């Protein structure tokens, strides 16, 4: 026990908690949006059990990744369709690609659905059309997709399982505390749900970008020279898929949030002016 309470481990734990908070925001946002598709009476339970099961599975995933890290990183297939798609594939490539595509599909589908609505009250009823069990299962599945990014980043900081598991548990507790509040906010301010969906769309793009270089990172971790490993980068129609930098991602999110806040404030101002004008004429 004393070996764990070192300055290095405590510092790593604090850094991991910060990392989990930053990387976990998109996960929390997804949980808050997706839970609204369950029956209204079950939504809180869906969020609770979805997070509990997901955190438990994340710890299991962490243990497996720490134990089998080499196997997960090793490229096991090389795509060689010249001019169309080339590059190496490892486990992370598949997870990032499937997760990114699914998140983008979900975001685009929800945005399209909201744009096609004529009766907002019908939307509330339609969104509650899934069973609680199916929503929990989807939340758990997508949590594992989100987890892969945060777990890989965490392992880059330390491979002390106790420190990693503690950070994940603390992030799970934080999600439990914040999930209901985020959901209530989205329900009262539905315009921000659109903002959340666009952020999820960007998250999907980020994951697809990570898929492009996953085999490269895996090969380098196995000791392959950088120049040789770069040949494993995914290329589509001759263009290399490169990940979006975290700074670009956060800047994009900040810009989206700022635009939404300014636009909302301006809309309220216009509505107030219209009401004042109508009152003056009447």
Instruction: Tell me, yes or no, whether 129 lies in a domain.
Output: yes
Is residue 282 domain-resident? yes
- Residue 120 — very low, low, confident or very high, per pLDDT cuts 50/70/90? very low
Residue 220 within a domain: no
In this structure, is residue 47 part of a structural domain? yes
Most confident of 71-80, 134-143, 230-239, 265-274: 230-239
pLDDT at residue 121, rounded to an integer: 46
What pLDDT does 34 receive?
Answer: 74
Residue 225 forms part of a structural domain: no
Q: How confident is the model at residue 27 (pLDDT cuts 50, 70, 90)?
A: low
Predicted confidence (pLDDT) per residue in 64-109, tens digit: 776 765 566 778 888 988 889 999 998 878 878 887 887 788 778 8
Clarify whether residues 134 and 70 are in a common domain. Answer: yes
| pTM, to two decimals | 0.61
Q: How far is the C-alpha of 30 from the C-alpha of 100, rounded, in Å?
A: 13
Mean of pLDDT values over 103-132: 64
CA distances from 4 to 7, 68, 138, 162 (A): 9, 22, 35, 8
Whether residue 18 sits in one domain with residue 129: yes
Same domain for 24 and 113?
A: yes
Of 124, 159, 190, the one marking the end of a domain is: 190
124, pLDDT greater than 50: no
User: What is the band of 176 on the pLDDT scale with cuts at 50, 70, 90?
Assistant: confident
**In b/e form, how buried is each residue of 92-108, taking b as 16+ CB within 10 angstroms?**
bbebbbebbebbbebbe
What's the number of domains the chain is made of?
2
Whether 62 and 132 map to the same domain: the answer is yes
Rounded to a whole number, what is the distance in angstroms from the first to the last CA of the chain?
A: 76
Checking if the pLDDT of 277 tops 50, the result is: yes
**Same-domain pairing of 279 and 154:** no
Q: Which of 172, 190, 208 is the last residue of a domain?
A: 190
Q: State residue 193's pLDDT score.
A: 66
- Give the lowest-confidence range in 130-139, 149-158, 251-260: 149-158
What tokens does 47 get? 């969020």
Classify residue 141: in a domain, yes or no. yes
Q: Is the pLDDT of residue 252 over 70?
A: yes
Q: Would 195 be classed as within a structural domain?
A: no
How far, in Å, CA of 147 to CA of 59, rounded?
Answer: 10
**Better-scored residue on pLDDT, 15 or 224:** 224
The upper half-sphere exposure of residue 266, i.e. CA atoms within 13 Å in the direction of its Cβ, equals 6
Q: Give yes or no: residues 62 and 174 share one domain.
A: yes
Query: Same structural domain for residues 31 and 140?
Result: yes
Instruction: Specify whether 27 is located in the same domain as 125.
Output: yes
Say if residue 148 is in the same domain as residue 259: no
Q: Does 251 share its domain with 179?
A: no
Q: Are residues 33 and 157 in the same domain?
A: yes
pLDDT band at 235; cut points 50, 70, 90: very high
Are 73 and 156 in the same domain?
yes
Note whether residue 228 is domain-resident.
Answer: no
3-class state of residue 97 by DSSP: helix
Q: How large a percentage of the chain has pLDDT more than 70?
A: 75
Domain with 262 in it? 245-282
């Amino acid at each position: 026990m004393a070996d764990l309470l070192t300055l290095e481990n405590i510092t790593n734990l604090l850094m991991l908690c910060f990392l989990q908070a930053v990387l976990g925001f998109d996960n929390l946002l997804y949980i808050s949006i997706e839970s609204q598709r369950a029956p209204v009476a079950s939504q809180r339970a869906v969020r609770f059990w979805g997070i509990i099961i997901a955190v438990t599975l994340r710890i299991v995933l962490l243990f497996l990744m720490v134990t089998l890290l080499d196997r997960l990183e090793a490229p096991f297939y090389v795509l060689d369709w010249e001019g169309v798609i080339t590059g190496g594939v490892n486990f992370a490539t598949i997870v990032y690609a499937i997760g990114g595509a699914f998140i983008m599909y979900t975001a685009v589908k929800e945005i399209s659905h909201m744009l096609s609505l004529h009766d907002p009250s019908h939307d509330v009823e339609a969104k509650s059309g899934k069973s609680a069990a199916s929503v929990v299962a989807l939340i758990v599945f997508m949590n594992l997709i989100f987890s892969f990014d945060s777990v890989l980043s965490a392992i880059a900081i330390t491979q002390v399982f106790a420190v990693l598991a503690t950070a994940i548990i603390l992030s799970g507790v934080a999600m439990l505390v914040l999930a209901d509040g985020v959901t209530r906010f989205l329900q009262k301010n539905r315009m921000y749900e659109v903002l959340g969906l666009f952020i999820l769309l960007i998250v999907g793009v980020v994951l697809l970008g990570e898929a492009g270089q996953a085999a490269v990172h895996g090969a380098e971790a196995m000791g392959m020279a950088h120049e040789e490993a770069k040949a494993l980068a995914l290329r589509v129609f001759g263009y290399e898929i490169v990940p979006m930098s975290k700074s670009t991602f956060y800047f994009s999110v900040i810009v989206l949030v700022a635009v939404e806040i300014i636009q909302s404030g301006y809309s309220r101002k216009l509505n107030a002016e219209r009401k004042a004008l109508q009152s003056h004429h009447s």
